[in-house]
Structure formats: structure tokens, C-alpha cells
Amino acid sequence: MSLSKPIVRHWIDEFVLICKANPTVTGCTVFLSVATVVLIQSNTRSSRLTKKQQQTILDEDHRRRKTRRKNLVDRHFFRKLRIFIKIAIPSWKSPEFAYLAVFSAFLVGRTFLSIKVSEVNGALVKAIMNLDFKAFLRGWIVLAMFAIPSSTLNSMLRFLGNKLALRYRSRLVHHFNDLYMHPMMYYKVINVDDRIKNPDQALTTTIDNWSKSVSKLYSDVTKPLLDIILFSVRLSSLVGPEGPLSVIFYYFVVGTIIRLISPSFGKLTARAQRFEGDYRHVHNRLITYSEEVAFYGGHHREKLTIDEHYSFIEKHTRYLIGKKFWMGISDGFLTKYGTVMMGYSVLGLPVFGPRRAQYLQQVSNDTSMIAHDYIRNSSLLISLARAIGRIVASYRDLQKLAGYTSLVSELQYVLEDLKKGKYHRKMINEDRLKELNFAPNTGKITLSDSVEFHQVPVVTPNGDILVKPVDLLIRPGMSVMIVGPNGCGKSSLFRILGGLWPLFGGGLERPDPSELFYIPQKPYLTIGTLRDQVIYPDSVDEFKEKGYNDRDLDKLFNLVRLNYIPERLENGWDTIDDWYDVLSGGEKQRVSMARLFYSKPRFAVLDECTSAVSIDVEGAMYAHCKREGIALITVSHRRSLWKYHEFLFKFDESGGWSFGKMQLPSGGNSPVEANGV
């Protein structure tokens, strides 16, 4: 105790003396420390999430059971990564593998060049020390000669890295587009399953980030690994194995410390991606409903929503940059300046280390030779330290990659589940469903000539029982009017018929999808020409293969009284426009009816699809359907349509239904109540 006190006092005095001798450094350190505390305090305050935002994040995390893992870089991550790498590089015969091989070869080439350059650096310093101009000039020319292949190699590596990232992205995009565009999948991801809110974000930005991140990480890890091996071998032959070994040991300790203190950047990255997705979604919504919002004058309300979503991003980013700031300090201290101190210890080894006598004898105490060795060794050491530093720093990139991988794999799992008929959704009526023996995808679906429901429960994907089990038979040529109060389940019946919603029991017989045409309440118009609107979902080639031409389209437009549209357009059927904006509400619905006439299916489900069409045109269109022998299944509140149907299916207020022949009083449009069955 008595001894340690004077030693401590001595070091304190030494330290005070050093501070007094270096006022600039001392002043800067004090100033920066105060500034850091003030800045970080204000950043922390402004990055605090509101209660509502915290709740949103908690709900999100709760829904995503997997994110409960604290660190995303674990064995699950490497397992998932392997799956996606296999998609990005399908086989060793694939072009991606060839690119990777060339990329790796260039990486090796660059490391060899670096070693050679360090030799030349040493020779140049020796020439300067010896005042040997000839040797200096020779070294200078050699160095200049190295510059050309070095810069080509560097640019080539960047080029190949970008090319690889693009190739990975294309592979993943095609893989996911195949899964996502599987029949009904894009609908089910949003409307049936509740695990993913914005699949568009994962399908676009996240896949792009994943591909870039994998490509970057490959060069950031393989090159330094190679460097470490080659530089260590060379350095240990020059300064002894303790040199590179102590550098590696130092970094091992540093890496462990960084791993322990660094926050879960993977999780933070995944969260940032979700916030970005939500923010983009609210902007997309505004674009979609711009006219409605403009009429309501809803800009102020919409701005509040947009601002609220942006504030999530802003606060999260602030939090992230705050975290990065602290990590930057520890990274800089441990991996940059700590390395320099470590480096000097190694560089001092030949002249101060255990083999000092042997070394000095070898160089015959020649200071120019010592300088030559020093420069060469320091150049090698800097490269070695940089290489290890990059590996340590790439841990954060790995965490980011883990974040992207977790989002992309979540989409993959959901799509695979849905393909197998499984989905995840919080059920609101679990006990009642169990009691009635209703469970998703337990009903039997078979192909048939007619539409038949046998004891089919009408249940929403989240388990809300809308109607008691339905029995209904619709034969070809038979037309049924569906009526009932709002929200009773009319459209839902067809969601089940179309396979959009799972069957919770019973049996469903339905014709091939090509025989059943559905026109929804909201008219859908595709991107493309006026012709594309009518022939959708056929392509122009399919349209021609079926033996149709534009004259046939004119006839269809005559039937729906839209013949004035192609006539007034300069390019007629070839006109490309934003048809949502160009056509009126009624015109859009009439285009949908023309599409039905083009398809000529055996059954047509018309779900309030003529609500904006004038009664006389609507009547003409229905009369045409009857002439064509199309079995109509119409959902409508318009009584004028009842006369085109022979049967009536009626939902009541209390979840019941009735089905029977339509009875119209002679000579009138007003029907008599349908018979119960």
C-alpha cells in the first residue's frame, strides 16, 4: 500500500506534466468531451419515441415472434443466409459462380501487388538514406509501373462487386416474383395473413440491400482474410512470429469487446426497413386516392399521417446515429489508434526485442538498412492491421445483413406457408370456431360443371363467422340475385368461391377458373393501351391467338355504349394512358362489362359492378349476358336488375339466409319475397 501510493502519485504528476506540455491536445480533449455530452444528451432527448410509437414497435415485435432474439447474427441467420446464397448462386456452373471465381482471383492478385509495393517502399527509403539517386529512380519507376495494374485491379474489383450484386438481386427478384405472383398469393399476403405489412418494401429495397450487402461483405471478408495470411507469413519471416501473433491476439480481444458492447444493428436495420416501408405506403396511398382526398380537402389530415410516419423514421435514425457515434468512438480507439500503438510495439521488435543482437549484426548496424526494414515492415504491418480491422468492422455489416436476411426470410416463410395453405392470423372467435368444428382449409374443394356450396361456413380469415353454413346450387345458365344488408357477407361468399379466402369446412364444387369471371365493386384497369383494358388478363398475343381483332373490340364497346372513346383517340385502341384518371366512374364499370363479354365465361359474378352505370345501359348489358347464356350471379341493391334473374339468395340481418325462385308480380319490377328453402 505504502509503495503503490507514491507510484500512483508519480504517474499522476507525469500525466499532469504531459498535459501541460501539450496544451492543444488537452484543450481539444476537454472541449470534445463536453461537446459530446451536450450533443448526445440532446440527440437522446429528441430520439425518444412517443408512447404511441413505442406501442407500435411493441405490437410489431410481438407479432414477429422471431425478433425476440437479441442478436440476429446466430446460427439461424447462417442457416437462412445459406438458403438465400443458394438462390443467388444456384450452382458452380452458374455465371454467378464464374464471376465470383474471377473476383476472388483478382482479390489474390491485389494482395500480391500490395506486398510487392511494400518492398519497393522500403527500397526507396533506403535509397534516400544512402543518397543513391540511381536506386531511388529505379524504385520510383517500379512504383509508377505498379500504379497501372493496381488502379485497374481496384476498379475491376469494384466493377465485379457491382455486377455480382446485380446478379444476386436478379436471382432473388425472380425467385420471389415467382412465389409472390403465384395465384392469389399477392392477395393472401396482405388480406389473409397478418405477418407482413408491406411486402413491397421487402420485394424491392430490402432485396436490393441484401444483394449489395452480400457482395460487399464477400470482398470485405475474403480479401482481409487472404491479406492476414499472406502478410502474417511475410511479417513473421521478418520480425519473428510474435509480431503478427500479437497483432492478431490484440484484434481478437478488440473484436470480442466490440461484439459485447455493440447494439443489435441487425434488429435496428430490420426495424428501419419496416419504417421506410410504412412511410412509402402512406405516400402511395395518397397517390392512389389523390382525387378523393382533394375533393374532401383532406390534405391537412393526410399530412398529419405522413408526418407521423416520417417521425418514426426520423427518431429511429437519430437513435441509430447516436448509437453509431458511441460505436465510432470505441471502434476508432480500439481499431485505429490502438492499432497504431500496437504497430509501433511490433516495429520496435527487431531493434528492441529478444533477437536484437542477431538483427543488428545482420544489418551491420547500418541505419539505412534499419530504415529500409522499418518502412517495409510498417507497410506490411499497416496492411495487416487494416485487414484485421476490416474483419472486425465488418461485424457491423454482418449484423446489417442479418437484418435484411431476417426480413427477406420472413417473406419467404410466409409465402411458403401460404403456398401450402397455411396462414397466420390472430383469430377473434377461437372458442366458437372450435365448438362448431370450423378450421381454415378444412373444407373440400372439387372441380365441377356448376357452382355448389355444401354447408360452407362464411368465415373471415380472422375467424369472424358471418353467416350460418350455406347450401347453394347454381347450374350453368341459371341466374341468381344475391341481396342482403351491408357487411353481411355477400362479397365474402365469392371470396370463398374464388379461393381467395380459406374454406373453414363443408364442400365446394366449382368450375375451372377460366369458366368463372368475377367483376369486383372497384373496377380494375391495367397499365397499357385501351385494348389491354378490354382483353385483360389476356396479352395481345393471346388475343390474336383467339382469332380476335380490333373490329371485335369495337363491337364490344358498342354493346356497352363506349364506342365514342376509341373514335376520339388519335391512336385508337393503341392509346396508352392512365385510364384510372381518364375514364369516369361509369365508363370504368362499362369497360369491365366489355371485358366480361370478351371473356364469355359460363358463370359471371357481378359484385355491384354497375352501380355507376345508367339504368338503360345497365339493362342492355344484362340483356346481352342473358342472350349469351352466361349464368349471372349478381350482388346488387338495385331492384331494376331483379328481372334478369330466376333465383334469389337473400342474407338476413341475423346471419341467416334463404334461397328460392324469384317471384316478380306480373308486369312489375318489384319482386315478391323469395321463398325460403
Which stretches of the chain bind ligand ATP, using CB under 6 A? 191, 460-462, 464, 466, 484, 486-492
C-beta of 493: minimal distance to ligand ATP in Å?
Answer: 7
Cβ proximity to ligand ATP, 70 vs 522, nearer residue: 522
- Selection from 611, 630, 622 nearest residue 560 by Cα: 622
- Of 492 and 529, the one with the shorter C-beta distance to ligand ATP is 492
How far are the Cα atoms of 246, 266, 347, 374, 377 from residue 350, in angstroms, in the given order? 14, 43, 7, 9, 10
C-alpha cell at 307: 408526418
Contacts for 436 with CB less than 8 Å, ≥ 6 apart: 457, 465, 505
Q: What is the smallest separation between the CB atom of 608 and ligand ATP, expressed in angstroms?
A: 6
Nearer to ligand ATP, 332 or 487 (CB): 487
From the CB of 158, what's the least distance to ligand ATP, in Å? 47
In the bound state with ligand ATP, the residue whose beta carbon lies nearer, of 30 and 428, is 428
CB of 470 to ligand ATP, least distance (A): 12
Question: Which residue(s) pair with 465 in the sheet?
Answer: 459
Specify the residue, 361 or 654, whose C-beta has the smaller distance to ligand ATP: 654
Nearer to ligand ATP, 460 or 529 (CB): 460
| Smallest distance, ligand ATP to C-beta of residue 190, A | 8
Query: Toward ligand ATP, which CB reaches closer, 99 or 494?
Result: 494
Range 111-117, long-range pairs (CB < 8 A, 24+ positions): 111/223, 111/226, 111/227, 111/230, 111/231, 112/230, 113/146, 113/149, 113/150, 113/153, 114/227, 114/383, 115/230, 115/231, 115/234, 115/380, 115/383, 116/146, 117/143, 117/146, 117/150, 117/379
Least separation in angstroms between residue 498's CB and ligand ATP is: 12
If you write DSSP's letter for every residue of 52-96 in order, what string do you get?
A: HHHHHHHHHHHH-GGGGSS-S-SHHHHHHHHHHHHHHS--TTSHH
DSSP state of 507: E
Task: Find the length of the chain.
Answer: 677
- The full 3-state SS of 410-479, as one line of letters, equals HHHHHHHHHHCCCCCCCCCCHHHHHHHCCCCCCCEEEECCCEEEEEEEEECCCCCEEEEEEEEEECCCCC
In the complex with ligand ATP, the residue whose CB is nearer, 489 or 601, is 489
Closest to ligand ATP by CB, 196 or 375 = 196
* Nearest distance from C-beta of residue 592 to ligand ATP, angstroms: 16
Say how far residue 558 (Cα) sits from the centre of its chain. Answer: 45
Q: How far is the CB of 663 from ligand ATP (least distance, A)?
A: 23
Integer angstrom CA distances of residue 220 from 158, 386, 422: 12, 11, 40
Smallest gap from residue 209 Cβ to ligand ATP (A): 30
Q: 10 Å Cβ neighbour count for 643?
A: 17
> Backbone dihedral region of 561: left (phi > 0), alpha (psi from -120 to 50 degrees) or beta?
left
- Measured from the CB atom, is 463 or 566 closer to ligand ATP? 463
Instruction: Using the minimum distance from each CB to ligand ATP, give the nearer residue, 269 or 592.
Output: 592
Min dist. Cβ of residue 487 to ligand ATP (A): 4
Query: What is the spatial distance between Cα 558 and Cα 544, in angstroms, rounded to a whole number?
Result: 20
Are 458 and 466 contacting, i.e. CB atoms less than 8 angstroms apart?
A: yes
